[in-house]
Amino acid sequence: MPELPEIETVKLGIEKTVLGSVIISTKLFRRDLRFPVKENLEKSILNRRVLGVGRRSKYLLFFLNKKTTLVLHLGMSGKIDVSIKSENEYKAKKHDHLIISFDSGFLLIYNDPRRFGFVEIIEGDHTNYQRFKNLGIEPLSKKFNGKYLWLKIKSSSRTLKNILMDQKVVAGLGNIYVSEALWDSRIKPTRVGKNMSLTDSNKLVVSIKKVLDKAIKFGGTTLKDFRQVGGEVGYFQNKLQVYGKEGQACFRRKCKGTVEKTIISGRSTFYCSTCQK
């Protein structure tokens, strides 16, 4: 599933093409996505201008005029393509579910083979959207700091891996980047929250932000399905230090440890048994 860096990469690509454009037509090829698409979606966004493009956790947001927000979630295998072909020239591909045409000449195509993604409309304040109500803080925001994390976890008996994967604690983190951040901070994923000091929490937050920023810089991680807006793969998989490296020597200088793999709550977790404590 695309995680925060992948969605942020897609958002940045969309901003370069459709920001300020007006939606002139919408083609919806099927409504039976993860959640059924409402009948009024096409009409709700017709002739609306894109005032901004945003992201909340792993959700893409198109801020339209008249206080309307189009929400796109890519699910497990979804991707967004942008084409400069006209609506008549573009031939819909297998698994294309939504095509939006803009007055700037661009087409935005939502393709999703597994149909775990969805598209919805928010009328009014998007912060009150039902799917955002239980989301935690954004990890790249200034409000996400060591003190915030420490107060959330200081009494918890859950592992750090589980805590960081909990979208109610911090939004948008996924399996790859949690493993990478814990390795960067030298903290073992099986350590429980109540055994973290404020200093440890500060160190972990710094590592989370560092890993996410670097992943966005390299266009996200493509292990299977993810593609950027122009169809390019991400390149952060070439920078991974621990994820998927089971049995390999630790990348950290002077560490003679080996990367191990364990399963936490059904998810593969990678760590160095020597330098992560």
**Distance between CA atoms of 28 and 35, rounded to whole angstroms?**
14
Angle in degrees, CA 231, 5, 276, rounded to 5: 130
Angle formed by the axes of helices 198-217 and 4-18, nearest 10°: 40
- Kindly state the tokens that stand for 195: 């055994």
> How confident is residue 241, by pLDDT bands cut at 50, 70 and 90?
very high
Can you give the pLDDT at residue 225? 47
Q: Is the pLDDT of residue 252 over 90?
A: yes
78-129: per-residue pLDDT in tens?
888 888 877 778 889 999 999 999 999 999 999 999 999 999 999 999 988 9
User: Which comes out higher in pLDDT, residue 76 or 120?
Assistant: 120
Q: Is the pLDDT of residue 169 over 90?
A: yes
**Where are the extended beta strands (E) located within the chain?**
23-28, 50-56, 59-64, 68-73, 79-83, 96-102, 107-111, 118-123, 259-264, 267-272
**Distance between CA atoms of 186 and 245, rounded to whole angstroms?**
16
Where in the sequence numbering do the catalytic residues fall?
2-3, 58, 267
> How confident is residue 222, by pLDDT bands cut at 50, 70 and 90?
very low
Tell me the pTM: 0.91
Q: Is the pLDDT of residue 230 over 70?
A: no
47 forms bridges with which residues in the sheet? none
